[in-house]
Homo-oligomer: A and B are copies of this chain.
Amino acid sequence: MTRELGIGLIGTGFMGKAHAFAYRAALAAFPDIPVPRLEMIADVAPDLATKAAHQYGFARSTGDWRALVADPRVDVVSITTPNIFHKEMALAAIAAGKHVHCEKPLSPSLADSLAMVEAADKAGVVTQVGFNYIKNPLLKMARDMAAAGELGEITGFRGIHAEDYMHDPESPYSWRIDPAGGPGVIADLGSHIIGMARFLLGPIAEVSADVRTVVTSRPVARGARERKQVLVDDVARILVSFARGCGGTIEANWIATGRKMQLGFELTGEKGSLVFTQERLNELLLYKAGGDARTSGHVKIEAGPQHAPYGQFCIAGGHQLGFNDLKTIEMGEFLGAIGAGRKSSPDFREAYEIQKVVEASIASSRARGWVRVA
């Protein structure tokens, strides 16, 4: 397969840059995918788009995302703008027959997300949503081990995604906590750990959550005396019940002082367990029961070429992948799926399923009891 795919990237910020790195590296890592041709980049500020085109190697730039979506040389549209714009951009891209990568969450509203899923399904385009952390080679192995029964019957899951970028009550009010963008941390970080739980163990059937706003007001600007009431959540603590039967807990927290990337889990089965944290993303702890009691313990597995697709980046163990490499795996799989004419994962539908867990948790917190994930 040597077909090319013209890439159109909307947004040049944090995630725009990550997409650019990934599209630039994808073919070097995955030589069998269609060749990504960096066709056009858009930003609401045309000068930023021009600068980014130079920096990231895109052939053209534009201040008008609609021009990008409509461009006949663009086959794939990557959406990295704030959540409130996802729906309009994605629907336009789908309508133009483009394959679409969209950063999570799909949209602030579950109904809008469903509309996006249905439009993509109807158009038959390939979609992908940026749940990059599960692209970790060690997590792929973790999922396979759980699926193959290597840990025995699964008996529990404890998942966390905690960071501290909102821990300071004097951090000002911002777009991030504008309820127009949807819920707070439960959508921003919670969706990652919910997605990871589903990736590892399948659907979550029921939730009972405590979703809280802890910092109830914030200054309207850095140092301002005027404060504005905060309406979105800072912490979500969720009891979960998986469809497969086992229970667990999930926490999403953006006021977790000191934590920069506490995304991880302990997954326990009758015969073994796995412990992971994104803080040390190239390590996975494995315990297997039944060995020599004298020398049993958690094994610290270090990522290496024996954990596909690590070897696409480096043939030697111990060298380690970084965040942008995970994004490259994501893009490699997405482009590969387009080339092969099959669905990619996690796609719009999976993102919608994750969002349903988010919404059920919020509903549960209000109802002060268990709620089924519809």
Residues of A within 8 A of B (CB): 2, 14, 17-18, 20-21, 24-25, 27-29, 31, 35, 51, 54-57, 141, 151-152, 155-156, 158, 160, 163-165, 167-169, 208-210, 212, 214-215, 234-235, 237, 239, 241, 246-249, 251, 253, 255-261, 266, 268-273, 278-282, 286-287, 289, 293-302, 304, 306-307, 313-325, 368-370
Chain B's nearest CB lies how many Å from the CB of A247?
A: 6
Going nearest first, the 5 A-B pairs with the smallest beta carbon separation are A260-B318, A322-B322, A258-B287, A261-B318, A369-B369
Of chain B, the residue at the smallest CB distance from A293 is B306
- A151 contacts across to B, CB distance below 8 A: 257
Assess the A54–B28 pair: CB atoms within 8 A.
no
A314 to B270, CA, bound (A): 26
Instruction: List chain B residues, Cβ under 8 A from A57.
Output: 27-28
Stoichiometry (number of copies) = 4
Question: Which residues on B sit within 8 Å (CB–CB) of A369?
Answer: 208, 368-370
Cα A208 to Cα B286 in complex, Å, equals 31
Find out whether the CB atom of B300 lies under 8 angstroms from the CB atom of A300.
Answer: yes
Once the chains are docked, how many angstroms separate the CA of A155 from the CA of B185?
15
Cα A14 to Cα B31 in complex, Å, equals 15
One of B169, B248, B272, B297 near A299 (C-beta < 8 A): B297
* CB nearest neighbor in B for A35: B54
Name the one of B51, B279, B318, B322 contacting A321, with C-beta atoms under 8 angstroms. Answer: B322
Partner of A247, one of B152, B210, B279, B280: B210
Partner of A368, one of B28, B248, B260, B370: B370
With A258-B268, A260-B316 already in contact, 17 other A-B pairs whose C-beta atoms are closer than 8 Å: A14-B314, A27-B57, A31-B54, A156-B256, A208-B208, A209-B239, A237-B247, A257-B271, A257-B289, A258-B272, A278-B318, A279-B318, A295-B299, A313-B323, A313-B324, A319-B323, A322-B324
